[in-house]
Each structure stands twice: as structure tokens, then as C-alpha cells.
Amino acid sequence: MKVELLSITSNPEKLIEIAGRTSHLSFNRQGKNSEKNFIKMLIKKGHTSVLEHAYATFNISGVSRVLTHQLVRHRLCSFTQQSQRYVSELNFKYIEPDSIKKNSKAHSLFIKFMEEAKKVYLKLKDLEIINEDARFVLPNAIESQIVVSANFREWRNILELRGNIGAQWEIRKLVIKILKQLKKYAPTAFEDFEIDEEKSIIRKIKVR
């Protein structure tokens, strides 16, 4: 899985402070690091709409369609995904879950099925079936690439829902990678999200 930060609002925490201070015209209260306390206050009071002024875009590759199908449920994001109509899936790569990889019988069944799917796809193409119809035989495990843009409020929503222990392992892995990058550029806006590497989850914590 590769997660590349393509773009992020420049000086995002300062922008959030300036936007937020417009409400009370309290610009004179700005100072060194004042954006930190201001953002903490916004999050504490639930005024997270102000966080919508900052955006981040990620290029995500080497993930399954299982993952991307879950990701695209987040309606406030903008998405562009690798097409299975315009891009041929001959020789497609796929993601194999650890539970299958570790079980030798399950693993050989899985590999056999992937190879069979490739063969059938190729045969359909040989029969001049177009990509958009040949893809009906492709598995959920197939690798895909997707670019996602969202504002910080929506990223916070995604991190909370998809970093949780109840979320699927692959999407949890993804949001941990996303959170690490967001924390670099906007540590305060994401400081109440803590990564537990061992359990591969994100915890929402209380910050003072």
C-alpha cells in the first residue's frame, strides 16, 4: 500500500485560525502559536465546520477494490479512481489478506482462483469482449489506485470511523498512514487521534 500526500493547504492551522476569528473579529488575539489553542477550542466546542477551510489530497495505490469500495462511501470527499473500462486488467495484481496467506490450504485456493480469474479475463478479451464487460469476472481483491481529496473535518470523520477497531483491517492500515501525514502538517487539528501501531487502530483521546 502506498499513500502519497499530493497536496495540503499551506499553513493550514493558521488559515483555520484566521477563518475562525472572522466570527468574532478577534484578529488582535493572534500571536505566536495562537492557532494551536484556537483549534483546540474549536474541537472542544464542536465548532469543527471551521476545519473545513483546510484540505488534503492523497494518492492511494496498491489497495484492493474492497478498500476503495468502502472509501467511496464517504460522500464529502472528491475521488478519481483507476478505471476498469479504460485500463486493461490483463495481469492484474491483487491483495491477499494475512488470514488467507497464513493458512496454506486457503492460500493455494486463493491463488488458484486469482489465476483462474486472470485466465477467464484474458479469454474474454480474446473473444473481443470489451474491458467494461470482461471486468465482471474480476475479484474484489484486485489492486486499484484512487486519488481522494477532503477537508480536515471530513478527514477527522473518516479517521474516527475507519481507524476504529470495528473497521476492516486494510482500511485501518490506510487511515493510519493518512493520519501520520496529516499530523506532520496540522498536529493540533489531529492531536486527539492517537495511533496504536500494535493493534493497528486509531483511538480518539481527550486533549487538554
* Residues in 76-115 at the binding interface with ligand FAD, rule: CB under 6 A: 76
Backbone angles phi, psi at 143, to 5 degrees: -75, 145
Active-site residue (options: 65, 156, 162, 172): 162
Considering CB under 6 A, how many residues would be counted as binding ligand FAD?
A: 10
How far from chain centre, in Å, is Cα 177?
A: 8
Query: Which residue among 45, 46, 104, 166 contacts ligand FAD (CB under 6 A)?
Result: 166
Q: Applying CB under 6 A, does 46 fall inside the site for ligand FAD? A: no
* Known catalytic residue at 29: no
Q: Which three cell numbers stand for residue 170?
A: 486494510
Helix (H) or strand (E) holding 17: helix 12-21
* Residues in 142-161 at the binding interface with ligand FAD, rule: CB under 6 A: 154, 157, 161
Give the burial string for 148-178 (b: 16+ CB within 10 Å, else e): bbbbbbbbbbbbbbbbeeebeebbbbbbbbb
Q: Applying CB under 6 A, does 73 fall inside the site for ligand FAD? A: yes
Q: Applying CB under 6 A, does 167 fall inside the site for ligand FAD? A: yes
Q: Applying CB under 6 A, does 66 fall inside the site for ligand FAD? A: no
Q: Minimum Å distance from CB 161 to ligand FAD?
A: 4
Q: Distance (Å, rounded) from C-alpha 54 to C-alpha 136? A: 38
Residues annotated as part of the active site:
162
